[in-house]
């Protein structure tokens, strides 16, 4: 019972202190030092932004379009430069002769 009374007294003290808070006191130059710190933070230089953010919108679009044009031109170059006059059967036979030299032997057994 004694501990419950002690706890009750402690709770009463806490409730009284919450209802009647005491005034905060600061030093006389607290406001000056606080504003001096704020001014120092404001005076700091901003970090340099990444170069991708310093490029204008038009330059970004131009870079994307240039990239697409180069990709399309490379694809067209390689698709048109292949020899399409070759017979597919010739291509298969060249491939099979190179990588499967015994292919003719295997097919003759069928």
Of residues 7 and 52, more confidence is placed in 7
Could you give the CA distance from residue 22 to residue 96 in angstroms, rounded to a whole number? Answer: 96
- The model's pLDDT over 66-98, given as tens digits with 9 standing for 90+, comes to 999 999 999 888 877 665 566 777 777 787 777
pLDDT > 70: percent of the chain: 78
Is residue 23 pLDDT above 70, yes or no? Answer: yes
Give the whole-angstrom CA distance, residue 95 versus residue 83: 15
**Per-domain boundaries in the chain:** 59-108
H helical segments located in 20-87: 30-43, 51-54, 57-81
């Amino acid at each position: 019972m004694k501990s419950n009374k002690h706890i009750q007294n402690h709770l009463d003290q806490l409730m009284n202190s919450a209802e009647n808070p005491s005034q905060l006191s600061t030093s006389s130059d607290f406001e000056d030092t606080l504003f001096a710190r704020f001014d120092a933070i404001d005076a700091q230089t901003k970090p340099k932004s990444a170069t991708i953010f310093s490029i204008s919108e038009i330059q970004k679009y131009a870079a994307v379009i240039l990239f697409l044009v180069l990709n399309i031109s490379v694809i067209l170059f390689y698709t048109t430069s292949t020899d399409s006059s070759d017979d597919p059967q010739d291509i298969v036979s060249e491939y099979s002769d190179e990588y499967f030299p015994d292919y003719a032997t295997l097919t003759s057994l069928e």
